[in-house]
């Protein structure tokens, strides 16, 4: 059974003084043994959130990592620098692609650095609204996956705990979300594409697929009825303890049902 994961992407919100208290509150409101919980705060808040979450079972993730191990890269953070601060990392988020011009080739290199450093990667893929309207979403996402995962050893990357987050760009921060059926179709495409990269169907089927894009406690349950969706990468709602409590509670229902189904 693939794990059920709820990852919180706080983006550029919270100061170090605020982050620890918020992380503590969310951890206390989202206790569920069958749900993997991750909080990804800004870099400057990593230490505060790490300390606040000690002993809670909630993991800490970074929102990005540089593709080099060290060097003259002012303002950047390398994977080795995250040792002791985070165990997860988000890679290829659409905001990084849009605002910083990150390409699939660059994200591919970041993924290699993350795996080498023992960070569990959440690789983001998703189409723009114009691509969706043109019916090109499958081609776009498959192209992103091939670009980001090519030349990576399947066993090693799977062993690092690769997670894919399908985030239709037009749904991020807009209040719009894809339909559960759309998300399920894209999840199937993601698994097929990974299998076709030389991973094989068995290995590809072990990779969890999350949905992201205006996830709320009100709409999340609909996504979790789809067997190909294994949780969520939550943006704005992840800053609200009540929302996170509702999202994790619903994730827990799905986790328990799937566990019972496999005996």
pLDDT at 105: 98
pLDDT at 176: 77
Among the listed residues 114, 159, 145, the one whose alpha carbon sits nearest the alpha carbon of residue 209: 145
The CATH number of whichever domain residue 161 belongs to comes to 3.20.20.70
Other Cβ atoms within 10 Å of 101 Cβ, number: 8
- Asked if the model's pLDDT at residue 256 lies above 90, the reply is yes
pLDDT at 174: 78
Identify the band that residue 171 occupies on the pLDDT scale cut at 50, 70 and 90.
Answer: confident
Distance CA 130, CA 103 (A): 19
pLDDT digits (tens, 9 = 90+) for 79-127: 999 999 999 999 999 999 999 999 999 999 999 999 999 999 999 999 9
Identify the band that residue 238 occupies on the pLDDT scale cut at 50, 70 and 90.
Answer: very high
The domain in which residue 12 lies consists of 4-262
Mean pLDDT score across all residues of the chain: 96
Q: Against a cut of 0.95, is the pTM above it?
A: yes
Catalytic residues: 93, 167
pLDDT at 263: 77
Range in 14-18, 129-133, 234-238, 239-243 the model is least confident about:
129-133
- Asked if the model's pLDDT at residue 177 lies above 80, the reply is no
Q: What is the 3-state secondary structure (H, E, C) of the chain?
A: CCCEEEEEECCCCCCHHHHHHHHHHHHHHCCCCCEEEEEECCHHHHHHHHHHHCCCCCEEEECCCCCCCCCCCCCCCCCHHHCCCCCEEEECCHHHHHHHCCCHHHHHHHHHHHHHCCCEEEEEECCCHHHHHCCCHHHHHHHHHHHHHCCCCHHHHHHCCCEEEECCHHHCCCCCCCCHHHHHHHHHHHHHHHHHHHHCHHHHCCCCEEECCCCCCCCHHHHCCCCCCCEEEECHHHHCHHHHHHHHHHHHHHHHHHHHHHC
pLDDT digits (tens, 9 = 90+) for 54-73: 999 999 999 999 999 999 99
Domain count, the chain: 1
Identify the band that residue 178 occupies on the pLDDT scale cut at 50, 70 and 90.
Answer: confident
């Amino acid at each position: 059974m693939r794990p059920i994961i709820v990852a919180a992407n706080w983006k550029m919100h919270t100061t170090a003084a605020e982050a620890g208290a918020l992380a503590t509150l969310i951890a206390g409101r989202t206790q569920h043994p069958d749900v993997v919980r991750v909080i990804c705060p800004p870099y400057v808040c990593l230490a505060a959130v790490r300390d606040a979450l000690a002993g809670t079972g909630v993991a800490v993730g970074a929102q990005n990592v540089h593709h080099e191990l060290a060097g003259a890269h002012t303002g950047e953070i390398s994977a080795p620098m995250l040792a002791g601060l985070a165990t997860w990392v988000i890679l290829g988020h659409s905001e990084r692609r849009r605002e910083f011009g990150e390409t699939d080739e660059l994200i591919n290199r970041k993924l290699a650095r993350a795996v080498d450093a023992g960070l569990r990667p959440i690789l983001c893929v998703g189409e723009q609204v114009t691509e969706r309207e043109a019916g090109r979403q499958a081609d776009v996402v498959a192209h992103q996956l091939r670009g980001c995962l090519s030349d990576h050893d399947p066993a090693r990357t799977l062993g690092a705990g690769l997670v894919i987050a399908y985030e239709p760009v037009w749904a991020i921060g807009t209040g719009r979300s894809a339909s559960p059926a759309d998300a399920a179709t894209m999840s199937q495409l993601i698994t097929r594409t990974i299998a076709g990269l030389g991973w094989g169907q068995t290995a590809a089927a072990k990779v969890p697929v999350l949905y992201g894009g205006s996830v709320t406690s009100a709409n999340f349950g609909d996504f979790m009825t789809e067997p190909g969706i294994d949780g969520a990468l939550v943006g704005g709602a992840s800053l609200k303890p009540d929302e996170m409590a509702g999202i994790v509670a619903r994730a827990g229902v799905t986790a328990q049902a799937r566990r019972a189904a496999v005996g």
